[in-house]
Amino acid sequence: MSEQHLRHLPSVDQMLRRAGLAELIRRAGRETAREGLREVLSELRRELRGVNGTAPAPDPERLADEAERRLRARLARRDQALTRRVVNATGVVLHTNLGRAPLSRAALAAITEVAADYCALEYDLGAGRRGQRGAGLEAVLRRMFNCEAAAVVNNCAAAVLLVLNTLAEGGEVIVSRGELIEIGGSFRIPEVIAKSGARLREVGTTNRTRLADYERAITAETRVILRAHPSNYRIVGFTERPAPADLARVAATHSLPLFEDLGSGCLIDLSAWGVGGEPTVGQALEAGASVVAFSGDKLLGGPQAGILLGRADLIGRVKSNPLMRALRADKLTFAALEATFGAYAGGRAAEELPALAALRATKAEITARARAFLRRARRVAGGLRFELIDGHSVVGGGSAPQAELPTTLISVTGARLGAAEIERRLRGQTPPVIARIVDERLVMDLRTVSREGEQELLAALGEIGSREGEQ
């Protein structure tokens, strides 16, 4: 043991003040550097504890050098990762190509806790034997939504496939022609129905489907009535679609399950923030849907997952489907989902979940941030010109396509560099910055940029701007 030796180890703050690290800290961001230093120093602390007590005391300067070397290596590994963190300056809050919802601090802590160790994933701690995967979270969901049963799978597409395969294989699924949607990435309702082993029975027309259309289509072959949320598009004008409660009544009259694919899985009414037209999960259940499916990483603001809620008999059958094993979620998902639903249960969702906080930000708040950013950007990136312009952010993730969230965009122009070249160079920074080009101008929206991301954005612009200033 050599507790004495530990005194020679520098502190995180001493390391942060080290002159040789200034540039690295600026580029990586202070919080990231602090986090990295904490880990590097605790690694060194463990190693020193293992050293024989009679060994000579380590040289403090050598220890600091070693900590610096390890921090550099750690950050370099991170920069080269293929699934690399990026700064999302697009203003698209649930950007599917950029991993949709960023997780809350509580979700991150929950993931870290279970990732590096074992956890009670499928273990009944009371009985001391094998339990059911996710049983705890399912109980939370049943209470929260006042429903009979819940199940969690890998994503909403998996949830839809699984339900249709379980309830309708070999039979017919009735769907309105106005809901034969494609979500993107080849998820098309008709194809998913075909893959589930069921047959599609289309009713109504693209813009109008009435209750009577559904009623006429019901035969002995019918297994399920499916209602799919047209997530990423809207039919406006001369339209008609039965109210969910009316459709639920028709389904119940014929002893058929009504399955509602909600897609986004919005838990709270977001219309006050300008995100209207998204039915909440609670509303769908109250209207009488037998089973609802929704995503974990869209408007819910959590990890990628598919959540099923509804009748115990139906969800019980879904869970005993052999496909369940192929589509199940892992321990990290369960940990992060539990923390995400915890934010809703505690009434803290709008503050704690980054996606909701980004949606809620007002134009005035974003403008104030953009003004302050502009002053700093002009100092560090003299070769570029900055300007504030009015614009709109987008919800993304195939949710609320009509929602236009007013924002203030930062436009960036160069003396020599065109918009496409600035965009390309931003993508080449560490971390890469993803921006948009609107009307041949490069624009950035701070709605989707964290405070740490702002620092990185400044560093990236400084890098490009100083080159632009040269010649």
Ligand X SMILES: *Cc1c(COP(=O)(O)O)cnc(C)c1O
Which residues here bind ligand X, judged by CB under 6 A? 155-157, 160, 183, 187, 228-229, 231, 261, 263-264, 295, 306, 398
Least distance between ligand X and beta carbon 318 (Å): 16
User: Cβ distance 406 to 363 under 8 Å?
Assistant: yes
Q: Which is nearer to ligand X, 214 or 259 (CB)?
A: 259
Q: Which is nearer to ligand X, 157 or 343 (CB)?
A: 157
**Token match 């309702």: residue?**
189
Q: Which is nearer to ligand X, 225 or 457 (CB)?
A: 225
Least distance between ligand X and beta carbon 56 (Å): 58
Lookup: tokens for 74: 């750690």
User: Cβ distance 465 to 458 under 8 Å?
Assistant: no
Q: Which is nearer to ligand X, 229 or 328 (CB)?
A: 229
Q: Which is nearer to ligand X, 383 or 398 (CB)?
A: 398
Q: Which is nearer to ligand X, 244 or 398 (CB)?
A: 398
Q: Which is nearer to ligand X, 166 or 231 (CB)?
A: 231
Q: Which is nearer to ligand X, 161 or 384 (CB)?
A: 161
In the complex, which residue's CB is closest to ligand X? 263
| Cα–Cα dist 369/367, whole Å | 5
Q: Which is nearer to ligand X, 295 or 430 (CB)?
A: 295
Least distance between ligand X and beta carbon 4 (Å): 55
Closest CA to 422 of 376, 467, 372, 369: 467
| Cα–Cα dist 8/24, whole Å | 23
Least distance between ligand X and beta carbon 321 (Å): 17
Q: Which is nearer to ligand X, 183 or 443 (CB)?
A: 183
CB hemisphere CA count around 57 (13 angstroms): 10
Least distance between ligand X and beta carbon 14 (Å): 46
Quote the distance between the C-alpha of residue 142 and its chain's center. Answer: 23
Least distance between ligand X and beta carbon 451 (Å): 28
Q: Which is nearer to ligand X, 123 or 187 (CB)?
A: 187
Lookup: tokens for 23: 């540039």
